[in-house]
Structure 1
Amino acid sequence: MEEMLIELDPVDRITADAVGTPGSRVFYLQARKGDRIVTLILEKQQVQLLAASVVEILARIGKETGEGPPEEQMGLDEPVLPEWRTGRLSIGYEEQRDMLMLEAEELLTQEEEEQATGEGPADALSAIGPELTVEQEAEEEAAEPEEAEETRDAARARFWATREQMLSLARHGALICAAGRPLCPLCRNPLDPEGHDCPALNGHRQLGES
């Protein structure tokens, strides 16, 4: 069974951004090396945790980190053509190279995950020590699997980046997550333009009604 691994070592640029309007945005992780662009779909929660974890890792390293690419250079390269939806992110720091390595594993369906064998990302990153693992559960497909379908391992992408590049990713990722729908001051859930049935009000009235 062949394993698919994409590795950009090192990246020329790396970013996390979103496309769409608040409430229906799609989040992406994108890295480029030369003419090779790799784009992956993320969940908003993954972007938030990735940003927070990068800041935490840099604080642990204890080295002065420069500003990195400016905010206006952190958008996505076109065309945005995602390879897959990400199920697991792992990040670690390689001290000898003074670089961070971010690995993204494809989100398999429940059946694909049960059939898959081989080394997982936790084993692959054990040498440098993963600092973050963010997972998204796969939804079980309703359709019956085809007989004699060949099993496969989850595809992986591995990106090596400088501390400055990852700090810029963290800052931009935090900004795009904060730019979504405003939160209800009572329940802290996102407010919808059509109205908000606040659980803190037991659903008796919408927020803002008298």
Structure 2
Amino acid sequence: MTVFYEFDEVDMFTVGTIGQPGSRTFFLHVRADGKRMAVKCEKQQAAAISQYLEKVLSDLPPVEDRPISGAMELNDPGETLFVLGPIGLGYDRSNDKVLLQLEEMGELDDDGEVIDDENRGHVRIYITRGQAAAFAAHAGNVIESGRPECRWCGNPIDPDGHPCPRMN
């Protein structure tokens, strides 16, 4: 069964994690039309969305209305629709909203091609510039709250240390 949702009005779009730094699972969370949806993603995907949104917003008029920062917290992602694969991002000037298309990671064949591309899940949402700005700021905080980086090699440091390749 293929999952497909499209929402022109979104109540909330945020990122959150479950677990401890070093073993966190990231989720994009969407609430619209009384439905809650979660899509499992990688930390790098959340960071890429945040960076894109910041870039788009830098070319637009300043944002006047943002969701309250406490409304961005994710305590329970709920049921996960799918694991995130390709991400489509754009800006629709006609309605002054940012478009995000979240697609399910497909199963790959031996050549790296997606098997059964037509049955992958899709969630297409339009968010306001204020929601985009709030997401970008919140995502930055969530990502930075992970493990600290080693000042010599840049790799994350676990609570019990790490074997630094530059110190060997």
List gaps (5 residues or longer) in structure 1.
118-151, 203-210
Alpha-carbon spacing, 1:18–1:67, altered in 2? closer, same or farther (3 Å) = farther
Matches of 2:160 and 2:61 in 1, distance apart? 47
Aligned residues of 1:87 and 1:107 also touching (Cα < 8 A)? yes
1:108 corresponding residue in structure 2: 106
Q: Mapping of 1:58-207 within 5 angstroms?
A: 58-60=57-59, 62-76=60-74, 78=76, 80-111=78-109, 113-117=113-117, 152-202=118-168
Alpha-carbon spacing, 1:197–1:30, altered in 2? closer, same or farther (3 Å) = same
Matches of 2:130 and 2:119 in 1, distance apart? 32
1:132-153 CA-partner distances (Å, limit 9, x unpaired): xxxxxxxxxxxxxxxxxxxx53
1:157-192 CA-partner distances (Å, limit 9, x unpaired): 111110001110110001000000010000000001
Aligned residues of 1:67 and 1:164 also touching (Cα < 8 A)? yes
1:14-46 CA-partner distances (Å, limit 9, x unpaired): 111111110111111011113211110010001
Q: Equivalent residue of 1:10, what SS? A: coil
Q: Larger Rg: 1 or 2?
A: 1
1:20 corresponding residue in structure 2: 19
For 2:31, the aligned partner's letter is R
Aligned residues of 1:67 and 1:167 also touching (Cα < 8 A)? no
Matches of 1:63 and 1:176 in 2, distance apart? 26
Q: Equivalent residue of 2:37, what SS? A: strand
Q: Equivalent residue of 1:169, what SS? A: helix
Alpha-carbon spacing, 1:113–1:36, altered in 2? closer, same or farther (3 Å) = farther
List gaps (5 residues or longer) in structure 2.
none
Residue 6 of structure 1 deviates from its aligned partner by: 1.1
Establish whether residue 8 from structure 1 lines up as the match of residue 7 from structure 2.
Answer: yes
TM-score of the superposed pair, with normalisation by structure 2:
0.91
TM-score of the superposed pair, with normalisation by structure 1:
0.74
Query: Which aligned runs of 4 or more in structure 1 are off by greater than 6 angstroms?
Result: none
For 2:166, the aligned partner's letter is A
Residue 116 of structure 1 deviates from its aligned partner by: 2.1
2:34 corresponding residue in structure 1: 35
Q: Which has the higher strand share?
A: 2
1:129 corresponding residue in structure 2: none
Matches of 2:17 and 2:2 in 1, distance apart? 29
CA-based RMSD of the aligned residues comes to 1.8
Q: Equivalent residue of 2:119, what SS? A: coil
For 1:80, the aligned partner's letter is G
For 2:69, the aligned partner's letter is E
